[in-house]
Amino acid sequence: MIRYSLLVLFLISVLGAHAQFLTPHFIEGSPQTYTASFVAEWGSDTASVETFTIAGRHLYGRAIHLYPEPHLRHFSYYFNEDGSIRNMDVQFFDLANTSLPLVSQTGLPMRITMHAYPETVDFRVLDQEGEKQFLHHVNSMDFFGGWIPVIGQWQWLINRMEDESTLQDLTFLNYIIGDYEMVLERKARDKVEFRSGITAAITLMLDDDGLISYIDAMGSPWNYTIAKVPVVNLEDFTERFSSKKIVGDPSPHEQFEAKISGCTVAMDYGRPSMRGREIFGNVVPYDKVWRTGAGTPTRITLDCGLEIAGVKIPRGTYNLFTIPSRASWQLIFNSEEGAWGSAYREEYDFARVPMQSSTSPHSREKFSIQIRDLGNQEGLLTMQWDKTIAETRFRIME
């Protein structure tokens, strides 16, 4: 909190700019403009600084991002009369020389363009190997997701809500991972919840004018908090960000296999880091379903059946979710195929089994899953992050 407050004071003292205000509802042909800046915090890192402008049905601006590597991003969106995205242009630049396109070391493209046609969304992605086309056969696109999405999209969606309590039948789309249903629901005058098939709920807090002041995206694929600040000049941040090291995927996936009495147990999971954050009770809320890792769902593949606390789990592949609490955990075996991100559908649960929770004197920076052979056809599944350990014993079924 102190670190963030110092950042805000720095922005005010250096820039001292003030935003213009937009009527906070979607108004056809409105000539009014609204400019705002936001800072996204990813644990102890500043993940993004963005300044955007909404003018009529046009959203444009620039952002500096830390992940997966430091870069500058120019973006421009034009919207249809119904508020969906008509076309989009996102260009990536080198922070050391912002006139040069980014030559990525992590797979980021140099440019992404999108055009929406009736029942088809056409993406063209330009990288060092040339241009690639990605066609998605959907009626429209209302939100484009990526490593760190354009924050201004959330304000545009809020503007579309007008006095409606719910904005639904929307489409979240990414050219690689596909399309998902999306809903905005007003929980209170100053609070809107953003939900989609790819992410846990994201909370948007609004000021008295209906403008976003704060976004809580903890538990989502982006897993950060975003706060509005006085309008900034991004040039003041290029040198600071360009000197940072390339991070790559902040939650790289790990795969491993364990042999327990002739049975193969295979794991595939993302390994997020603490990065100076308080984990359980904060990043991972208590008593709520947790994705148990990051990125694509944590998956376990069994070539034989297991028995845990009297519950029999047949061979196959399952998504693993958990419900951490202070005293104990629940481990969820979920059978949905093709699940992505932190989206969780209880109707696909196959079984829930208990896990014992304890505290370690030593902190573990990266989330870790281990499987150990205890002999006599028994094994131990252990999850550890920060100082929290959750474990459950299992037996190989004949």
Look at residues 160, 395, 355, 392 and name the one whose alpha carbon lies nearest to residue 263.
Answer: 395
Phi, psi values for residue 154, rounded to 5°: -65, -40
What is the tally of structural domains in the chain?
2
The predicted-structure confidence for 346-380, as pLDDT tens digits, reads as follows 999 999 999 999 999 999 999 999 999 999 999 99
On whether both 80 and 112 belong to a single domain, the answer is: yes
Q: How far is CA 78 from CA 40, 89, 191, 277, in A?
A: 24, 9, 26, 37
Is 123 a residue whose pLDDT tops 60? yes
Q: Is the Cβ–Cβ distance between 272 and 294 less than 8 Å?
A: yes
Q: Is the Cβ–Cβ distance between 19 and 231 less than 8 Å?
A: yes
- Can you give the pLDDT at residue 321? 94
For residue 177, give every residue at least 6 positions away whose Cβ sits within 8 Å of its Cβ, in sequence order, or none. Answer: 145, 198, 340
Question: What is the arithmetic mean of pLDDT over 58-67?
Answer: 94
- Domain-located, residue 247: no
- Can you give the pLDDT at residue 17? 36
On whether both 168 and 146 belong to a single domain, the answer is: yes
- Can you give the pLDDT at residue 25? 47
On whether both 274 and 237 belong to a single domain, the answer is: no
- Domain-located, residue 248: no
- Can you give the pLDDT at residue 299? 94
Domain range spanning residue 128? 2-242
On whether both 60 and 209 belong to a single domain, the answer is: yes
On whether both 234 and 302 belong to a single domain, the answer is: no
Instruction: Tell me the percentage of the chain whose pLDDT exceeds 90.
Output: 63
Q: Which helix (H) or strand (E) covers residue 13, if one does?
A: helix 2-14
Question: What is the arithmetic mean of pLDDT over 169-197?
Answer: 90
DSSP string of 144-183? E--SS--THHHHHHHHHHTT-SEEEEEEEEETTTEEEEEE
**Number of neighbours of residue 330 by Cβ within 10 angstroms:** 17
For residue 107, give every residue at least 6 positions away whose Cβ sits within 8 Å of its Cβ, in sequence order, or none. Answer: 68, 127
> What's the mean pLDDT when you consider all of the chain?
87
For 380, the token pair is: 């131990």
